[in-house]
């Protein structure tokens, strides 16, 4: 049995990279629905449909545990999948998201104010606000939708002056609010980690979501030996996508490594 990683595009490769670095012994299947990306501007009904299709596909490929790396899908589809769909279809298997582990870390390190940047869909869902308030209602959360960052990262413009100007505009209100912790609420954003940390300065700690999710998965498997014992340990990775192009292949090599080879599948 394998560990599945699902994202609406290829940003989840950044999460998978950190997971494999932390837990190299397991077998993984990555699924990127890049033919239908982005999810951020779609309705909750459509996001749930796409996410459920992907999860079902990964289970049929032999996954015991799936991590939804996409923040938008985690915010708008995960709970329904866990509470309604999973018990009826795969009651012995598990689906996890990326929002909860990042929130738990943010609450640990934050002093007063947490900033969150993400796609329009993730920010509109207020998923981070709700999860933070469950753990510590005294913390203030300031959100900012930053959708242009995805395109900048996918164009490889993270070092470009245009990216720096856009980042300054996006981060201005968060800096003015004097946040002390910043959550990168999109799988693409860790590519901009150094640039964002440089602009927020020493005042705010920028959380590395990939490392946090990897640590959380490691802890989860230690606590759930009934799942861990079922996992294959051949150190293999399979990469599935719903569309292949030279651009996507380049992103895969840049974000995961030169050894990556995509296979095209159809979720419809």
Active site residues: 70, 186
Is the bond preceding 38 in cis, omega lying within 30 degrees of 0?
A: yes
DSSP 124: H
Measuring CA to CA, how many Å separate 253 from each of 3, 57, 213, 247? 21, 24, 21, 10
The distance from CA 211 to its chain's CA centroid, rounded to whole angstroms, is 11
Measuring CA to CA, how many Å separate 69 from each of 96, 113, 204, 225? 9, 25, 24, 22
From CA 219, how far away is CA 41, in angstroms rounded? 33
User: SS3 of 190, please?
Assistant: helix
First to last CA, the chain: 24
Burial category of 213 from C-beta neighbours within 10 Å (exposed 0-12, middle 13-18, buried 19 and up): buried
From CA 88, how far away is CA 81, in angstroms rounded? 10
From CA 75, how far away is CA 68, in angstroms rounded? 10
Across the beta sheet with 237-241, what order do the strands follow? 94-97, 63-68, 2-7, 28-32, 237-241, 262-264
């Amino acid at each position: 049995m394998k560990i599945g990683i699902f994202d609406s595009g290829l940003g989840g490769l950044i999460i998978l990279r950190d997971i494999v670095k932390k837990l190299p012994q397991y077998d993984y299947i990555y699924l990127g629905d890049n033919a239908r990306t982005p999810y951020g501007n779609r309705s909750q009904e459509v996001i749930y449909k796409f996410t459920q299709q992907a999860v079902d596909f990964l289970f049929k490929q032999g996954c015991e545990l799936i991590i939804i790396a996409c923040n938008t899908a985690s915010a708008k589809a995960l709970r329904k999948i866990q509470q309604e769909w999973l018990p009826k279809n795969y009651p012995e298997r598990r689906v996890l998201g990326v929002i909860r582990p990042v929130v738990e870390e943010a609450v640990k390190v934050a002093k007063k104010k947490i900033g969150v940047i993400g796609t329009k869909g993730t920010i509109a869902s207020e998923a981070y606000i709700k999860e933070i308030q469950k753990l510590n209602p005294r913390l203030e959360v300031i959100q900012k939708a930053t959708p242009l960052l995805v395109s900048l990262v996918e164009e490889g413009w993270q070092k470009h002056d245009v990216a720096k100007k856009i980042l300054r505009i996006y981060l201005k209100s968060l800096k003015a609010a004097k946040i002390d912790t910043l959550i990168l609420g999109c799988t693409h954003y860790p590519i901009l980690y150094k640039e964002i940390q440089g602009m927020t300065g020493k005042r705010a700690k920028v959380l590395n979501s990939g490392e946090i999710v990897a640590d959380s998965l490691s802890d989860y498997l230690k606590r759930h030996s009934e799942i861990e014992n079922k996992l294959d340990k051949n150190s293999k990775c399979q990469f599935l996508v719903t569309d292949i192009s030279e651009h996507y292949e380049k992103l895969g090599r840049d974000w995961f490594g030169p050894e990556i080879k995509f296979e095209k599948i159809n979720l419809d």
